[in-house]
Structure 1
Amino acid sequence: MKTAIIIFLSTIMLSTLSSADEYVVISNPKMKDLSTTQIKAIFLKKITVIDSINAVPVNLGAMDPIREKFENKIVEMNFERLKSYWTKEHYIGKRPPVSMQSEESVKTFIKNVEGAIGYINAKNLDNSVKVLYRWSE
């Protein structure tokens, strides 16, 4: 009986560990493949055009946990550092990426705007968008 309980608990722990959340950076299907360095540059508006197409980065809302994961993993800045960055950029005429309130609105926008790029939970992925990068936590 004791062995059965240990096996059962081990199985639960392994299934919990293997079900880490997975996230994707997505774009309009017409976008070419991009490196994480290029994705970061697009979200910091250091790159604004890719192959003569205007790049349109799209964020989730400021307090969205997926946005926090994206900014830490890809942009490599936390909320406070990004806030400071955009305050400085404002004075040279640059505005931060547009924000959307839901993953569905991000996906719909990206599907319909040629240079759009954003991020969502991989469980909300479908074939209407292109996956540029995938990570899990």
Structure 2
Amino acid sequence: MVKPVLILLLSLALNAEEWALIIRADSPLSALSTAQIRDVYLGKIRYVRDVRLFPLQLGAENPLRQQFERETLQLSRAALREWWIRRHYLGQRPPKVVGSAEAVLAYVQQVEGALGYIPYAMAEDANVTVLHYEAGRSQ
């Protein structure tokens, strides 16, 4: 039993990727804390410093999304599903899903208030503001 758990932990560590949460370059926001990011992605807050935020997320099977949910939201897929089912009855919707990190980058560059996470290497040369950076880590 110990070996499968060890293999799982090692695979998570090897698959951890550096990522950045980005927003348009002309946004007045320059940083978000992990707690603020969590609250935005869980629909608890919609504004930060009078900026209306529109969070984007990658598809459910994307490894970066799985890492983001595990490390930042600290919720399992099942817990997130339950969370959004309950929020649905309050008239709230989960973050918009886009097909790729390239699509997140393009959307963020064009839509005021849109923010999303992408591999850090993509954000380095893009015309965006990095609100938060996470070095790859595992739990």
1:9 maps to which residue?
Answer: none
CA deviation profile, 1:68-96 (whole Å, cap 9, x unmatched): 10111111112111001001100111110
Alpha-carbon distance in 1 for matches of 2:48, 2:58:
22
Alpha-carbon distance in 2 for matches of 1:31, 1:46:
21
Q: For structure 2, which runs of at least 5 residues remain unmatched after alignment?
A: 1-12
CA deviation profile, 1:30-76 (whole Å, cap 9, x unmatched): 14121111111111111111222211000001111100101111111
> Are 1:22 and 2:18 matched, yes or no?
yes
Give the TM-score normalised by the residue count of structure 2: 0.79
1:14 maps to which residue?
Answer: none
2:44 counterpart SS class: coil
Query: 1:110 deviation in Å?
Result: 0.8
Identity score, percent: 34
Which ranges of 4 or more aligned residues in structure 1 deviate by more than 6 Å?
none
1:94 counterpart SS class: coil
Alpha-carbon distance in 2 for matches of 1:81, 1:31:
33
Q: For structure 1, which runs of at least 5 residues remain unmatched after alignment?
A: 1-16
- When the two chains are superposed, the root-mean-square deviation of aligned CA atoms in Å is 2.0
1:134 counterpart SS class: strand
2:96 maps to which residue?
Answer: 98
2:130 maps to which residue?
Answer: 131
